[in-house]
Amino acid sequence: MGPGLLKSADWPLLIDLYFFLGGLAGGAFVIATIANLLDARRYRDVVRMGYYIAFLAIIPGPILLIVDLGVPTRFLHMMMVSKPSLEIGMSALTVGPFHLKLLSPMSAGAWALLGFSVCAFLVALDVFLEDRGGRSMSVLRLVAGVIGGFFGFFLAAYPGVLLGATARPLFISAHWLGALFLVVGASSGGAAIALILSLLGSRARESLSQLMRFTAFALILQLAALALFIITVQMSGSTGIAQALAKLLAGPYSLAFWLGAVVVGIVVPLALQLGGGIKKAAPGMTALASALILIGGFLVKYVIIAAGQAT
């Protein structure tokens, strides 16, 4: 009876798409920053493409979020209101008209999205100017790259923490959604860079193989986080958890979960890479594996959100 009482936000596909693109942007940005820090010249292709992808992937983010609001013209209220109320929660920080609620992942996420977007724009602009024959402002790229990297991690993980802070049975008893979403962001960010580099016929065959080595590692983490998520939910034993989990694993969403998120999204690309893909880094194989990782990365977020929201 208990869970029948609960309501759902009924966030539509727009939000799943934002969660996927935000994670992808964050992941691509972090990879570009780390490659840039290690050897900016050797990994030039990865850095350029990572920063471009991060910038392009985050552009639809705010639009998707604003369109989904009940009153889109009030989107700024996520960060500021002209006359704030006094008691708006135990974790609220207010400065003038601005507010940040540390225990509300949506509030923190709105600020992180702003911070990330600024960094992604600055770094992408720097890369663009360099591509046009100008000189890179390496200090700016370094500072915005590192700060944006932290925001990038945050952007990938916070949707999972946000879901965990709802009363939906599948979400409230899971503690691994933030970690899962973060590694999905990492794998899809890496896959997006690899896909485009291999389609462009990049000469940087070596950096492509290193990129695939990283995504293979991220996929293993993704599998582990997914398993930990299911085990934690199963063991929580809270009311309504059996039905909620059954929707995901055996019910209407099971095909998308097992075939889409697990087999197509993790097992096949991992097998492709471990079975010789990494060593040779054949562009066709890399492109195929990357495309599958991207499909799986979207599906795993979509299917968990859909199953958790279904009543």
Partner 1 sequence: MARTLAMFTDVSLCIGCRACQVACKQWNQLAPEEPEWTGSYQNHAHFTDKTYRLVRFFEETDATGQMKQWHMMSDVCKHCAQAGCLEACPTGAIYRTEYGTVNINQDICNGCRYCVSACPFGVVAFNHDTGTATKCTFCNDRIHNGLGPACAKACPTESIRFGFRDELAGKAKQRVEELKKLGYKDAQLYGEDTNGALGGLNAFFLLLGKPSIYGLPDKPKLPQRNVIADSLLSIGSALLVGLGALVAFRSRDDKGGA
The yes or no reply on residue 213 touching partner 1 (CB under 8 A) is: yes
* 277-306: contacts with partner 1 (CB under 8 A): 278-281
* 42-81: contacts with partner 1 (CB under 8 A): 43, 68-72, 74-75, 77-78, 81
The yes or no reply on residue 107 touching partner 1 (CB under 8 A) is: yes
Residue 168, judged by CB atoms within 10 A of its CB (0-12, 13-18, 19+), counts as buried
At residue 291, φ and ψ (nearest 5 deg) are -60, -40
First-to-final CA distance of the chain = 12
Q: CB of 298 within 8 A of CB of 199?
A: no
The yes or no reply on residue 38 touching partner 1 (CB under 8 A) is: yes
The yes or no reply on residue 22 touching partner 1 (CB under 8 A) is: no
Smallest distance, partner 1 to C-beta of residue 142, A:
16
Amino acid identity for residue 119 in this structure: C
Smallest distance, partner 1 to C-beta of residue 132, A:
26
Size of the site for partner 1 (CB under 8 A): 86
The yes or no reply on residue 172 touching partner 1 (CB under 8 A) is: yes
Region from 115-123, 128-136, 176-184, 290-298 binding partner 1, contact rule CB under 8 A = 176-184
Q: Which listed residue (58, 124, 157, 294) binds partner 1 by CB under 8 A?
A: 157
Q: Where are the beta strands (DSSP E) in 73-220?
A: 92-95, 98-101
Nearer to partner 1, 203 or 227 (CB): 203
At residue 282, φ and ψ (nearest 5 deg) are -65, 130
Instruction: Compute the residue count for the chain.
Output: 311
The residues with which 94 forms a beta bridge, in sequence order, are 99
Rounded Cα distance, 264 and 257, in Å: 10
* 240-269: contacts with partner 1 (CB under 8 A): none
